Amino acid sequence: MVDGPDTANIGINGEMTAADYFATNPKPASLDKQSALARAFIEQHAKQNRRVAIVTSGGTTVPLENQTVRFIDNFSAGTRGATSAEYFLEAGYAVLFLHRHFSLLPYSRHYSHSTNCFLDFMTHNEAGAVVVENEYQQQMAEVLKRYQKAKSENALLLLPYTTVNEYLWLLRELAMQTRPLGANGLFYLAAAVSDFFVPAERMVEHKIQSSEDFHQDMDTGEHGREPAAHMEGKSLVIDLDPVPKFLKQLVDAWAPQSMIISFKLETDPSLLAKKARYALEKYSHHLVIGNLLNTRKWEVLFVSVGRGERWIRVPAGNRTKSVSGMDGDVLENAAQREPAVEIESLIVPEVVKMHSELIGKGTLRK
Ligand code: 9Z3
């Protein structure tokens, strides 16, 4: 174990601790550069006494090979994080946006992965110059104005990650830099983080061969543990380790002065409240926002110590919006239906209110 803030995490039942994790999984090559960018960003906003939201967004990958051909991924597109980031900026926060590479980004999200490709928003004018179609002028002008304001104030810093290892190193690094913000720092952990991973010591170097004629030897490595992925006959067998629980470290050691909000994702409605409550008790942070995969754009459950449990819902009458397809048809597929009101426009002001209350009461540790 290394000395420092991680030593508070004692492994139980032989589970890997956060300290062990960082001692045995390699620091990403991009970390120092990202860390320097974050430090300058935090310094600037700490000087201005501005609140800063550290928003995490999008899924994390779990590579199966060091020279990665195959990896495990999850569904998250980064909608929650990118949308929330815009509302935090609107509420006067600066936003450190820790996101999965190529997932949705604040502002550009309106045009990047949408039903229409960005080229569908464009046309030629009479002089042949490329311009925005008339029907999109107003909406695009509004988004552009907000985007340019954020840019001119240097209020949005985008830091990408891809693997769960990059995510964890980056989160820890940023968290430990938030001290100068004091109670003005807020963590909004919307990323869909892998629960299982391949530790470095169990990762094979080369592409796993599917053909029986080319099967590699099972290299047990210096720790004597078998590779996490290998072929057995014609089957690929994958045996993943649990990702150590980092929330406790974040709350107790890395950023104890910040407001911390985690998300809890479930698919079984009967488990959601129970699991959200459990997380709040276990990690003793400020707020758990529970959501179900299928209804996450319409309703979320706030669970906090001070305010108990309450649902935040898109109001009836704003539950659906027709989405135009490329051919102008209204899409009937429910999966492509969107609420007319973004639920993040309801979530973020509530979170901001709670943050103000915590700052006001002086309950955030310094
Ligand atoms: C969430 O629950 C997010 O709201 C979603 C957003 C990932 C559902 P999209 O990106 O989806 O808008 O498509 N994030 C947290 C998921 C998570 O990994 N939570 C951990 C858990 O449930 C706790 S930190 O155990």
- Cα–ligand 1 centroid distance for 80 (angstroms): 8
CB 224 within 8 A of CB 330: no
User: To test the ligand 1 pocket, which listed residue (193, 197, 275, 286) has its Cβ within 8 A of the most ligand atoms?
Assistant: 193
CB 5 within 8 A of CB 22: no
Domain-embedded: residue 134? no
- State the amino acid at position 314 in one-letter form: V
Domain-embedded: residue 135? no
The pLDDT tens digits of the residues spanning 227-252 come to 999 888 889 999 999 999 999 999 99
- For the whole model, what pTM was predicted? 0.92
Same domain, 233 and 246: no
Domain-embedded: residue 181? yes
Same domain, 179 and 191: yes
Predicted local distance difference test score (pLDDT) of residue 9 = 42
Same domain, 80 and 178: yes
Mean pLDDT for the stretch of residues 148-168: 98
126 pLDDT above the threshold of 90: yes
Domain-embedded: residue 80? yes
CA–CA dist 337, 293 (Å, integer)? 15
User: Using a 6 Å cutoff on CB, does residue 104 contact ligand 1?
Assistant: no
327 pLDDT above the threshold of 70: no
Predicted complex: ipTM over 0.90 = yes
User: Using a 6 Å cutoff on CB, does residue 76 contact ligand 1?
Assistant: yes
Q: Is the dihedral of CA 312, 315, 320, 323 positive or negative?
A: negative
Same domain, 187 and 296: yes
User: Using a 6 Å cutoff on CB, does residue 190 contact ligand 1?
Assistant: yes
User: Using a 6 Å cutoff on CB, does residue 280 contact ligand 1?
Assistant: no
Same domain, 101 and 67: yes
User: Using a 6 Å cutoff on CB, does residue 263 contact ligand 1?
Assistant: yes
Q: By residue range, what is the domain housing residue 351? A: 5-116+153-196+242-361
User: Using a 6 Å cutoff on CB, does residue 352 contact ligand 1?
Assistant: no
User: Using a 6 Å cutoff on CB, does residue 25 contact ligand 1?
Assistant: no
- Helix 31-47 crosses helix 164-176 at what angle (to 10 degrees)? 30
Q: Is the dihedral of CA 123, 124, 130, 135 positive or negative?
A: negative
User: To test the ligand 1 pocket, which listed residue (57, 80, 289) has its Cβ within 8 A of the most ligand atoms?
Assistant: 80
Same domain, 246 and 314: yes
Domain-embedded: residue 230? yes
Please give the number of the atom of ligand 1 that sits closest to the Cα of 247: 24
CA–CA dist 79, 58 (Å, integer)? 8
Domain-embedded: residue 42? yes
- Cα–ligand 1 centroid distance for 263 (angstroms): 6
CA–CA dist 281, 183 (Å, integer)? 21
Q: For residue 55, what are the CA distances in angstroms to 60, 64, 96, 190?
A: 14, 27, 6, 7
User: Using a 6 Å cutoff on CB, does residue 285 contact ligand 1?
Assistant: no
Burial class (CB in 10 A: 0-12, 13-18, 19+), 315: exposed
- Cα–ligand 1 centroid distance for 146 (angstroms): 26
CB 180 within 8 A of CB 206: no
User: Using a 6 Å cutoff on CB, does residue 187 contact ligand 1?
Assistant: no
Which of these three, 187, 209, 239, is where a domain ends? Answer: 239
88 pLDDT above the threshold of 80: yes
Same domain, 232 and 273: no
Which of residues 112 and 200 earns the better pLDDT score? 200
The chain-wide mean pLDDT, for the chain, equals: 89
CB 229 within 8 A of CB 236: yes
Place of tokens 């970390």: 31
The pLDDT tens digits of the residues spanning 255-290 come to 999 999 999 999 999 999 999 999 999 999 999 999
Residue ID of nearest Cα to ligand 1 atom 7: 192
Q: What percent of the chain has pLDDT over 70?
A: 88
**CATH code of the domain containing 301:** 3.40.50.10300
Same domain, 204 and 304: no
User: Using a 6 Å cutoff on CB, does residue 253 contact ligand 1?
Assistant: no
Q: Is the dihedral of CA 18, 23, 28, 33 positive or negative?
A: positive
Please give the number of the atom of ligand 1 that sits closest to the Cα of 83: 12
Domain-embedded: residue 132? no
Same domain, 314 and 346: yes
Residue ID of nearest Cα to ligand 1 atom 2: 265
User: Using a 6 Å cutoff on CB, does residue 276 contact ligand 1?
Assistant: no
Which of residues 3 and 172 earns the better pLDDT score? 172
Residue 47: count other Cβ atoms within 10 Å of its Cβ: 9
- Cα–ligand 1 centroid distance for 339 (angstroms): 19
Total count of domains within the chain: 2
**127 Ramachandran zone, left/alpha/beta (phi>0; psi -120 to 50):** alpha
- Cα–ligand 1 centroid distance for 76 (angstroms): 8
Same domain, 63 and 204: no
CA–CA dist 91, 75 (Å, integer)? 29
Same domain, 232 and 276: no
The pLDDT tens digits of the residues spanning 187-213 come to 999 999 999 999 999 999 999 888 777
> Which range, of 108-117, 246-255, 341-350, averages the lowest pLDDT?
108-117
Same domain, 203 and 105: no
Domain-embedded: residue 31? yes
Query: What is the SS3 string spanning the chain?
Result: CCCCHHHHCCCCCCCCCHHHHHHHCCCCCCHHHHHHHHHHHHHHHHHCCCCEEEEEECECEEECECCCCCEECCCCCCHHHHHHHHHHHHCCCEEEEEEECCCCCCCHHHCCCCCCCHHHHEEECCCCCEEECHHHHHHHHHHHHHHHHHHHCCCEEEEEECEHHHHHHHHHHHHHCCHHHHHHEEEEECCECCCEECCHHHCECCCCCCCHHHCCCCCCCCCCCCCCEEEECCEEEECCEECCCCHHHHHHHHCCCCEEEEEEEECCHHHHHHHHHHHHHHHCCCEEEEEEHHHCCCEEEEEECCCEEEEEECCCCCCCECCECCCCCECCCHHHCECCCCCHHHHHHHHHHHHHHHHHHCCCCC
